[in-house]
A and B are shown apart, each in its own frame.
Chain A
Amino acid sequence: MPVTDTSVWNTLAPRNMELGPRSGSANILTDWRIIKGDDDIVWLILDRSDESTNTLSEAVLAELDTALDDISGMGAKGLVIRSAKKNGFVAGADIRDFRGVTAQEEQEVEKRMTRAHEIVDRLAALDIPTVAVIHGHCLGGGLELALACRYRLAISDAKLGFPEVLLGLHPGLGGTFRLTSLIDPVEAMTMMLTGRTVHAKKAKSLGLVDTVIEERHVENAVRAAVSGNVKTRRGSLKSGVFGFQPARQIAARQMRAQAEKHAPQQHYPAPYRLIDLWEEHGGDARAMQKAEIKSFSQLLVGDTAQNLIRVFFLREKLKGAAKGESGIRHVHVIGAGTMGGDIAAWCAARGLSVSLSDLDRNAMAGAIGRAAEFYGKKLHSGIERRDALDRLMPDFEQSGIAKADLIIEAIAEKADIKRRVFEAIAPKMKKNALLATNTSSIPLETLRENLPFADRLVGLHFFNPVAKMELVEIVAHDQASRSTLDRARAFCGAISKLPATVKSAPGFLVNRALTPYLVEAFVMLDEGTAKETIDRAATDFGMPMGPIELADRVGLDICLEVARMLKESLGGAMPEIPAWLAQKVEAGETGRKAGTGLYDYDDKGRPKKASDTAAPSPEMADRLILPMLNTCVACLREGIVEDADMLDGAMIFATGFAPFRGGPIHYARTRGAEDIVATLKRFEQQYGLRFAPDEGWKNLA
């Protein structure tokens, strides 16, 4: 008989973390605590009160200043900075401090940043060895704090980076000049320009950290560092070369060209400001610091940063709805096509047990192959890849139906086929299991007929490609129970997706808003506009890809199905679907997956685009985007989603709607509802009824 039912490791795991001397007097402040050991090494531990994650707020920095006062009189031989939070060192600045800053406050921001710099400079100037012990996330301001220490010791799970650029900013607490002078400046700039994080091992090879250690060696490694016995690799040949302005000029030119490919300057100024900073001041720390403060403050009060910060909080809002315990450990997916297979692969990668079934055994095998390929790219170790594949079982006997806590149906978009499957599996399901459909168009009211437990039916509408699109529409209907919806949302949280609860109405939110945009593009195509020109109009506006390419990506067959269904239920508000769309679908030219659709595709799935097409006219973007906004306003009025923020979040995380514009409704508000209504009215006269402004615009003024 076993001695115990508890997990031995779970019991012992808390002992693993080294947080300095266990005895000795501790000086406990609000967010920091100071402990000095017998060896005269002082441990400064960050443990923000009432927060699960450490971030740097103004208050945290002010308290660091106090702590440094205290330490100066302690006769310390060395100083260690470490986080007591399990999930990491410091996740970055406390973005709440940055929210809602207006252009008028630029001077004020500059002052606050200057003060923050003084505190970090004080740490950097200490004459005793300072050691940052880094585990988990060490991002943005957190990394800047670590860079101000003499040594950085990384635990093997550490991830370091400067994601500021994703918020329309660049590092602002000394990162620009400290990183470029510590490591190869080109590597430093690449880290800051892409926002990519690096793992401990890579950080070591870059020279960003001095050594990578295991948690159990922290104490010994700290002692070695304090006595100067940790090897450091400082200053590369390249940093010497880039001390010369002409060398920086050449590199900067290349960086600008690279940046333009991913983030056009007109929409995303931050990368260009960062490149300017380095080009002008690289090699002169003091000048670069001053310029960094100024440039950061300017960016922070700008529209792009404020809108991207808004997007950050929209994500937090959506995440907030995904909290709680789903009770879902095992997911069974029916249908091993692109969506079903990819949903299954994603869930297994996120740690769930997954069974996948399909009538076609080869389709199941193919889905496993695709999953293995995906894991090969996205999972970091062979262990993770093996475990994810072990959790993903091709289910030849459909055993998963009786064991799953959640069954996701992802088969053909035919109501009667789906209903038949539901009927067959319903009696075999576990008592509390949820039944979810990935339908993109069929109302749940139709699917729940004959289902003995309509309260446990819910729509879980994933978007293609599953791995990239963060949003999942949680489709509610009037018989779905509260607990079903809560569990469905919590499930999204467990698999790192963002849930947006929508009503079971035709097209739900995202497809309904997207379809007028796509079909308008088809109309423009029929008017003789080149597809490249149409796509360009949308990407110039800030969409990640144009409507023609998107239609190919989604699949013309699916577009047709959704468009037909919406035309049927919404009538005049939708443009006529061109006859050629059905013909193309029938001919099998369904888009990217078929190798040909509206564009032709190369082996790597890239569209072949002509380069000599005309530039879009200024009106084109409005013709594409305004129908989408008009539909969003209608959805808001009809209560398809809870509120405007939820809608903005959903559109951004499902379609990539120009994030720097803060979402469709936010964009409409910023531009002014009157202006949009006037434009829509003009279009209505010119192009037809489908542009008639929704009555909901009144509520938006």
Chain B
Amino acid sequence: MAQKPKPAAAPPKTRTRTRPSKPAKSAASAIGGDTAAVGRPVYLVDGTRTPFLRARGKPGPFTPVDLAVQCGRPLLARQSFSPETFDMVILGCVNVIADEMNPARVAALRLGMGAAMPAFTVQINCGSGMQSIDTAFRMIEVGKVDMILAGGAEALSHSPLVLSQEATKWFARFASEKTAWGKTAALADFRPEMAKPVIGLERGLTDPMTELNMGQTAEMIGHLFGITRQAADAYALESHQRLSRAHQEGFLDGELIPAVSRGGELYDHDDGVRPDTSLEKLASLKPVFEKPYGNVTAGNSSQITDGASWVILASEEAVRKHKLKPLARIIDAEWSALDPSIMGLGPTLCCTALMKRRGLAREDIDLWELNEAFAAQVLACLAAWEDEQYCRDVLGLEGTFGPIDRDRLNVDGGAISLGHPVGASGNRIVLHLVNAMRRLGLKRGMATECIGGGQGGAMLLEVV
């Protein structure tokens, strides 16, 4: 059962101070606009994820491919067909490490899927794990293939330290000098500040167009829609409580499979969850992105974590041939884009566009997974959907989209409590949406996320 309704975090306010500079564009993904016309049904048959493990200031026990293997092995092991049966493997991964170029292919081989298994990696930042599903969905839909393993994997704790551009140029010169004199001369040009590495993760989470980091974009949209610090903290608290309850009640059984490191350590739960946190504790945290006046803290942001998630997609033929039991059917997906500085509003664009195309109203969606990049960002999306001007001018709706019941949103917690391994999250929310709908006896659900760089992705599924 879903939780009892809680009072809305903050009364929706309508503000009109700032508008995005350009009207947002939307486009149905991959192949053509009207996908309802073509296409064979595509089913989500099964899926698993690893525990999401907090980055603790040093490389964690698993690389991205290690995570994909830890996650994929038990999933493949519980299928009735052999791993070679798949037609293709697609993996979302943002921070690919140098030892694992095209991690999809490395994972496929390490999972024993055979030398003849085509595999490629997709990258659209925080949407990568959903992009892999959408790409697979389209390929099966048009009849090219019948079964694809689609996932996402990310080890943010393995983000490299990067040399600065200057240091890289210097090193290239030093290395190319052939003589001792040349090397000595090059050495003299070295300056101490070159030794200071740039933290790759920090750069990765900063928008290259605006130089705003993701937390700053959340500050921005929180401000635009009047999301208070208290509302954001209350949202964060509830995320922890919901995930903690899901752990205890066994809601994640079969979805979350433990991982074991080479050192023999067992990782059997999402270790970022803090069931004992409180509004007081959250309130005591200082803003991390915009000191000293900002509202976004480590407590009301998603956590930096490592994790992976896979789902199996199959055509009707594959379902019949291998006697599979589909969990849900993928109906449609949508990608939208807007100004990078307000990337957090992405979900409002792609969801609305997708629903318009499908002729669906808010009440038609039984359950929502809206990735919790930041509490302020989730709440800003909800507020935007209740904002008359925004709905009219940006979304082109008559009247507002309306409120989304908290009982139908992120019912088992989200990235704030369990973390946001960027390449994996989009995959996880689709998988969990399906499992949660089945547990709650619901029919139709939407998984959506905002995407760094100013995009949004959404996927609509129906339980079968």
Contact = CB atoms under 8 A, between A and B. Distances in A.
Interface of A: 2, 7-9, 353, 355, 361-362, 364-370, 372, 386-387, 389-391, 393-397, 399-400, 402-403
B73 interface: yes
Contacts of B264: 365-370, 372
B266 A397 contact: no
Given A370-B264, A393-B74, 10 more contacts: A7-B115, A9-B115, A355-B77, A361-B268, A386-B110, A390-B69, A395-B77, A397-B74, A397-B77, A399-B78
A393 B257 CA distance: 12
B226 to A, nearest CB: 46
Interface of B: 69, 73-74, 77-78, 80, 110-112, 115-116, 254, 257-258, 260-266, 268
A260 B69 CA distance: 48
Contact of A372 (B69, B74, B115, B263): B263
Contacts of B257: 396-397
Contacts of A372: 262-264
B260 to A, nearest CB: 5
Q: Which 5 A-B pairs have the closest CB atoms?
A: A369-B264, A365-B266, A399-B78, A399-B77, A372-B262
Contacts of A389: 262
Contacts of B115: 7-9
Contacts of A370: 264
Contacts of B258: 361, 394, 396
Given A390-B110, A397-B74, A403-B77, A369 B268 contact: no
Contacts of B268: 361
Nearest to A365: B266
User: What is the predominant secondary structure among interface residues of chain B facing chain A?
Assistant: loop
A377 B89 CA distance: 34
B74 A2 contact: no
A2 B257 CA distance: 33
A508 B130 CA distance: 58
Contact of B77 (A8, A369, A393): A393
Given A390-B110, A399-B74, A368 B116 contact: no
Contact of B260 (A8, A365, A386): A365
Nearest to A3: B116
A393 B69 CA distance: 10
A400 B266 contact: no
A361 B77 contact: no
A399 B48 CA distance: 13
Given A361-B268, A397-B257, A369 B74 contact: no
Contacts of B74: 393, 395-397, 399
Contacts of B111: 390
Contacts of A353: 112
Contacts of B112: 353, 390-391
A397 to B, nearest CB: 6
22 contacts: A2-B116, A7-B116, A8-B116, A9-B115, A361-B258, A361-B266, A362-B266, A364-B260, A364-B266, A365-B265, A365-B266, A370-B264, A387-B110, A393-B73, A393-B77, A395-B77, A396-B74, A396-B257, A399-B74, A399-B77, A399-B78, A402-B80
A402 B74 CA distance: 13
A364 B265 CA distance: 10
Nearest to A363: B266
A394 B50 CA distance: 13
A231 to B, nearest CB: 23
Contacts of A368: 260-262, 264
A369 B263 contact: yes
Contacts of B73: 390, 393
Nearest to A7: B115
A316 B170 CA distance: 63
B26 to A, nearest CB: 35
A361 B254 CA distance: 15
A403 B75 CA distance: 13
Nearest to B256: A396
Contacts of A400: 77
Contacts of A366: 264
A397 B78 contact: yes
A560 B381 CA distance: 69
A394 B260 contact: yes
A676 B266 CA distance: 55
Contacts of A369: 260-265
Contacts of B69: 390
A400 B265 CA distance: 21
Nearest to A369: B264
A384 B116 CA distance: 21
A119 to B, nearest CB: 46
Nearest to A387: B110
A475 to B, nearest CB: 29
Most buried by A among B74, B80, B115, B265: B74
Contacts of B260: 364-365, 368-369, 394
B235 to A, nearest CB: 32
A389 B69 CA distance: 11
B82 to A, nearest CB: 9
Nearest to A332: B77
A390 B263 CA distance: 14
Nearest to A364: B260
A178 B77 CA distance: 54
B262 to A, nearest CB: 4
B198 to A, nearest CB: 29
B116 to A, nearest CB: 6
Most buried by A among B73, B257, B260: B260
A387 B116 CA distance: 18
A9 B115 CA distance: 9
A292 B74 CA distance: 59
A50 to B, nearest CB: 34
B183 to A, nearest CB: 27
Most buried by A among B69, B115, B261, B264: B264
B71 to A, nearest CB: 12
A23 B266 CA distance: 60
Nearest to B114: A7
Nearest to B77: A399
Nearest to B116: A2
Contacts of B261: 368-369
A381 to B, nearest CB: 14
Nearest to A390: B110
Contacts of A365: 260, 264-266
A370 B261 CA distance: 11
Nearest to B82: A403
Contacts of B266: 361-362, 364-365
A377 to B, nearest CB: 13
Nearest to A370: B264
Nearest to A385: B262
Contacts of A362: 266
Contacts of B116: 2, 7-8
Contacts of B263: 369, 372
A79 B373 CA distance: 71
Contacts of A7: 115-116
A387 B265 CA distance: 19
A463 to B, nearest CB: 24
Most buried by B among A372, A391, A394: A394
B170 to A, nearest CB: 32
A9 B114 CA distance: 12
Contacts of A393: 73-74, 77
Nearest to B258: A396
Contacts of A367: 264
A399 B46 CA distance: 14
B254 A397 contact: yes
Nearest to B69: A390
Nearest to B48: A397
Most buried by B among A367, A390, A391, A403: A390
Contacts of A2: 116
B121 to A, nearest CB: 19
Contacts of A9: 115
Nearest to B254: A397
